[in-house]
Amino acid sequence: MDLEGRNEGSMSTKSSQKLSPDVVFEILSSRRRRMVLYLLRQRGDTATVNELAEEIASLENDVPVEELTSQQQKRVYVSLYQTHLPKLDQTGIIDYDADEGMVELTNKANEMDIYLTQSPVSTYPWTVHYAGLAILSGLIMALGLLSVPVVGSLSFIWIATAGAIHYWQYRQTQQEIPVELEQQR
């Protein structure tokens, strides 16, 4: 049976058919396959098998590419060459030319985006944040109109604090490596 649950003799999964959730979850069940997809996107959709193996080995061993041992790189290369890249190629997510050692991301990879990284919906209650900001800003403005002393410095502090909170929350959502690629410890 192939990845779609069909018999080998039936139509190829590389066709224009949409990826089923079962296929997507099987593909994403391997950290190395997730890393391949991530790295291809980072590199502009194409890479050699050797480049992918070096970068994945570097991430897995937490060392720069220059400090990898040949054994560390070879272990990843062999698993990519024999298992992971053929499986991704079979589904049509990548085009893999084993003879040339080239890997290219296809448009079909976009179908997996809804299963990766962060949801477009924020978990931080921005509507409450800005509603509170608007109420307090209105209060500060009203106090300023009444010529209450120290209100001018309060408005600056309030705006700076609100901006700092927004920036801090934004930085929390930015990661160098997506959460689905982080090593489980």
Across the range 142-153, mean pLDDT stands at 73
pLDDT at 9: 36
Whole-model pTM: value is 0.58
pLDDT at 127: 76
User: Pick the residue with more confidence: 171 or 181?
Assistant: 171
Pick the CATH number of 21-115 from 1.20.1260.10, 1.20.1250.20, 1.10.10.10, 3.40.50.300: 1.10.10.10
Residues 23-76: tens digit of each pLDDT: 888 988 899 998 999 889 888 878 999 999 999 999 999 999 999 999 999 999
The SS3 call for residue 166 is helix
- Structural Rg of the chain based on CA atoms: 25
Domain parsing of the chain, residue ranges: 21-115, 126-173
| Residues contacting residue 138 through CB under 8 Å, at least 6 positions apart | none
